Amino acid sequence: QVQLQESGPGLVKPSETLSLTCTVAGGSIRSRYWSWLRQSPGGGLEWIGYIYDSGTTNYNPSLKGRVTISLDPSRSQFSLGLTSLTAADTAVYYCARYWREGGTYCFDYWGLGTRVTVSS
């Protein structure tokens, strides 16, 4: 059973950079797609981006180049960096496995989520 766990700060200041890490257990991080998503206080879910084993990434254009997702297979981790934070980035951040085999194109395993508040 694949398990994911997010880690990182719960409070960050405006204009600073958010760094989150997701640790994957119970399965190989290789040859898979790994994603970050977030859920605003109002409940809306937003896909942030994904990374594949090869280092290929795909980001949501709505985040206007503020996002970087990286992978560390040796630690079975992948990470999110989000720059120039504003209050609008306050959300629960989830890491998830993006399942795209056999025409699935969905998220089958999720982390528990980590709440991030952007405030001075």
Partner 1 sequence: DILMTQFPSSVSASVGDRVVITCRASRDLSRWLAWYQQKPGTAPKLLIYAASTLQSGVPSRFSGSGSGTHFTLTISSLQPEDFATYYCQQGQTFPLTFGGGTKVEI
Which span (10-18, 20-28, 76-84, 102-110) binds partner 1, by CB under 8 A? 102-110
At residue 61, the 3 state secondary structure works out as helix
Query: Of 47 and 53, which has the nearer Cβ to partner 1?
Result: 47
Is 94 one of the binding residues for partner 1 (CB under 8 A)? Answer: yes
Please name the residue that has the structure tokens 């949501």: 60
- Smallest Cα–Cα separation from 25: which of 43, 56, 1, 48? 1
Please name the residue that has the structure tokens 């790994």: 34
Is 105 one of the binding residues for partner 1 (CB under 8 A)? Answer: yes
Which span (14-22, 25-33, 76-84, 92-100) binds partner 1, by CB under 8 A? 92-100
Is 61 one of the binding residues for partner 1 (CB under 8 A)? Answer: yes
Is 107 one of the binding residues for partner 1 (CB under 8 A)? Answer: yes
Q: b/e per residue, 73-108, with b = 16+ CB within 10 A?
A: eeebbbbbebeebeeebbbbbbbbbbeeeeeeeebe
The footprint of partner 1 (CB under 8 A) covers: 43-47, 58, 60-62, 94, 96, 99-100, 103-108, 110-113
